[in-house]
Amino acid sequence: MRRYLAIALALFTVTLAACNTMAGFGQDLSKGGNAITNSAEKAK
């Protein structure tokens, strides 16, 4: 029982960390897209 709980906790921790990493990556990608859009608007 203890082993299963430890494995479940480890999987939950990894999943949570991966979720936060992907959220941060999405925000960075969005900021990059906004910068490109702003540059294109200024170049018009």
Per-residue pLDDT of the chain (44 residues), as tens digits, is: 889 899 999 988 888 888 778 888 888 889 989 999 988 888 87
Give the pLDDT of residue 1. 84
Q: How far is CA 3 from CA 8, 16, 37, in A?
A: 9, 20, 51
C-alpha span between 26 and 10 (Å, rounded): 24
C-alpha span between 28 and 36 (Å, rounded): 13
C-alpha span between 28 and 5 (Å, rounded): 35
C-alpha span between 4 and 10 (Å, rounded): 10
Classify the C-alpha dihedral 18-21-27-28 as positive or negative: negative
pTM value is 0.57
Give the pLDDT of residue 30. 92
